[in-house]
Structures are given as structure tokens and as C-alpha cells.
A and B are shown apart, each in its own frame.
Chain A
Amino acid sequence: MKKTQNVLIKGTKSGLTLHLDDMCSYDELKKELDAKLTENSRSHEDTPLITVNVQVGNRYLTEEQKEELSQLIRKKKNLVGDSIHSNVLTYEEAEKSKEETEIVSVSRIIRSGQVLEVPGDLLLIGDVNPGGTVVAGGNIFVMGALKGMAHAGCKGNTSAVIAASIMKPSQLRISHCLNRAPDMMQDDDRREMECAYIDENEQIVIDRLQVLMHLRPNLTRLEGGR
């Protein structure tokens, strides 16, 4: 009765892909999906579990709708809902993801008792004095002296790094790891141009800045160029 199909099922190596039309109404789509899957699941009853990817095209689905669709898929005996892909982001989501990948540059001195927090990467043009704190969702780059506390990857990003021109922090935190300065700091230690990262043993280590290009190649964001 319908002129076009709202639900297209395609088989791929990694399982089934459902292409859902983005022009029809959501209720219509749900009904058709249910019907299609019911008639399909009857045909291969003894087959092992099949993973299902869902492509919804240019349709925006709320969290509840996504949950509803994956429940619909899960109800069928031999199907496992894997992921739902949409081409659409809400403004907030876009803003958030932009914030989290953006480098925020700040030119000031973070003094004792002050806290500077950014969602993405932090480029601080200035010092962090003892008692001051910088917190970032991503990496922290301090152009001056880091003598206070720095917490990179505060939302759980363990690959975040902290780099400073003068690395004399009172405490370093990356994601859930914590490291403090040795009780006896040698004054003659220059501690210039260094970086901190989490190594294979889940420990924060401090090393020369130059090791980062091998350890964290994704720090390079330059595309093209010369």
C-alpha cells in the first residue's frame, strides 16, 4: 500500500544495517520497523545473534526515542542493537563538542587561591603560582612557570598531557592519577620545557617535551599546510 519503504534492511559483514527513512513521521517509522523485524525474525529462528546498526539519516532522535528503538530491536529474538547513527546534532551538543576540542588561551597569572577551569585544552600565557589551580577537560599547556596544581583530562581523558616551560608543580593530576612533587626539590634542577603524561603503568611521568610527538601523535591537529 505504501509507495516507498521507510525501513530498508541491508546485510553487511558486520551484521545488519537498518536504513530508516528521515521524511516519514516517527510513529509511522516505529510501526513499520516493528512489522519488518517481526516478519524477518521468524524466517531465521536458529541463527546466532546478529548485531544491528541503525542509520537514521537526517532525523534527530531524543535519548528516549533512541532507547525506544533499541528496545524494539532487542525484543526480537536474535537481534542485538549496536548503535544508532544520526547526521543531526543539537546546538548544545555541537557547542559542547566544540568546547571540548577547543584550545582556550588565557593570559594571566593564576595566583594562590585562584582556580581556572576550561572544558577543552588550556593554553595559559602566564604562571601558575603555588596554591593556584588549573583544571582542563583536555590538555594543559603553560607558557610560564607551573608551580601550583594542574589537573588535565578532568573528565576522565587519560591521554591528556600537561606541558610547561618551567615544570615545578606542587601536584599534577591527569584524569584519576595523581602525582606530587618530591619533598626535597633540588634547586639546581632546571626543569625547563617538560611534559607530564600517564605511562603504561598508570603512573604520571615527567619527561622532556620532545617525547610527546611520539607518545601523543594526535596532539598535531595541523591538516594540510606546508
Chain B
Amino acid sequence: MGEAIVVTSGKGGVGKTTTSANIGTALALQGKRVCLVDTDIGLRNLDVVMGLENRIIYDLVDVVEGRCKVHQALVKDKRFDDLLYLLPAAQTADKTAVQPEQMKKLVDDLKQEYDYIIIDCPAGIEQGYKNAVAGADRAIVVTTPEVSAVRDADRVIGLLEKEEGIEPPRLVINRIRSHMMKNGDMLDVDEVTTHLSIDLIGIVADDDEVIKASNHGEPIAHNPNSKASIAYRNIARRILGESVPLQQLEDQNSGMFSKIKKFFGVK
């Protein structure tokens, strides 16, 4: 019996889809069977970020309305051997095409076959959000160190806490610019976590490579040398229950020692 994790944020553009794609990929790299579910009906993106857009035949709405079986709609990621699948959202329908009860049943079905179901939630707190949250056992809230994103994350955490059957949400702080944090121009990690007062599950530095990789349809988590990739892999390990220390944000010394550390993959 698998576990369903919803990735949500309230605010748009903070990196829900990127985070979903990379956590899913990182979990698959750890040998877990993972199914990504895109619930952003009408504005689907996860397939593009995963580079699976061309292979979509059926979608979420087709499954829910009984036009096809679940396994027919699932798109397999060829980079893995039978580990990572995507259930794409419909592009032609809208959020009201699916009801929370239907989503819950769908996710419960998927949980029988996969270790982790990663649900990518649309922005906002309306129908789309309710659908995404319906079947989830755990929640990851993504925010950036901006006041507006933190405000929306706070609202979403409040809503998640009211939801029954979901564990207390955990926090990912995305797009951290260490130089701005150091100058005090950006909220720092401590400020955000004390304000939201939930457990931190990972911090991800702002990295141009992430955008590049997304545009190529290849999640950054595949690249073992990028800082953001390691951050996502760390999040996956924390989901699996390992205790991994938080990443150092600044690379202060690029001397011999850190090169050796890099060589051994300690970052």
C-alpha cells in the first residue's frame, strides 16, 4: 500500500510542478515505484516538465469518466525501468470535470500499485485544490522566501490542517538566493519556518540549471552535479525517512577540501 503526497502552495509560480517532477524523479532514482498525478486540469504542465507531452493518449478526465482504464492513461518515463509513471491532466476540460470523491477513489486505486503517488496541485484554493487534496495522506507546501508566497502558504497550511486524514504538512523553501538572504533583502530560512511553524523538509537554491532542464523536459534531479538536484534528492531521502542535514547554501570555499568532498558526493 503506497502513500499519496500532495504538493501545493496556494500561490502560483513558486515551483509546485518542478518540485513534483523532481521529487518523483528522485524517489524513482531511489528505486521506488512512483506515479505522478497532474491535477491542474486545463493548464497542465507536468507532462512538459517531464518531457512526456508527446506520449499522452488518455488523461485524468478520461479515467474519471470511464472512457479508459487507469493503466491505459498512465505514461511511462522511459528513463526508468518501469518505476516512474505520469497520469496527465486533461487540457480541454476544466477543474469542475472532476469531483473530490472521484479523485480519492482514483488515488486509492493507484496506491495499491505504487509506493508513492505525487499529486501536483494547481494554484489557488478552489475546486482544483480540493480535488488534489482529497486523496492525499501527506502534504508538502512549497513556498519561496517572498512575503506574498509565505502569506499564501500560511493560508494553505491552515486549510490543510482542517483536512481530515492528512498528516501535518511539511515545508519546501524554493528559489533561495543566498546572497539576497545574507544581505537581508529576502526572508531567511529561519524567518519563514518560524512564521509558518511547520517542519522543514528541504531548501532548494535558485539555480538556472533548473529552468534549463525543465525546458528540455528532463527534471534536474537526473543531473547529479547540480545543487538543486541534490536538494531534491535530499527531500526524497527525507520522505523515505532518512535524516539528512540541510544543504549549505553558500559555497564559501572552492578549495581543495571542498573539491574532495564534491568528488565523494558530499555537498
Contacts and interface: CB of A to CB of B under 8 A. Distances in A.
Nearest to B157: A111
B30 interface: no
A112 B197 contact: no
Contacts of B197: 109, 127
Interface string A75-94: 00000000000000000000
Interface string B125-168: 00000000000000000000000000110110111010000000
A57 interface: no
Bin the interface of chain B by size: 10 to 19
A58 interface: no
A112 B155 CA distance: 5
B195 interface: yes
B190 to A, nearest CB: 14
Contacts of A130: 151, 154
Contacts of A114: 158
Nearest to A147: B195
B49 to A, nearest CB: 28
A131 interface: yes
A113 interface: yes
B243 to A, nearest CB: 25
A34 B107 CA distance: 77
Interface in B224-262: none
Interface string B185-204: 00000000001010000000
A129 interface: yes
Interface of A: 109, 111-114, 127, 129-132
6 contacts: A111-B154, A112-B151, A113-B159, A114-B158, A129-B154, A131-B155
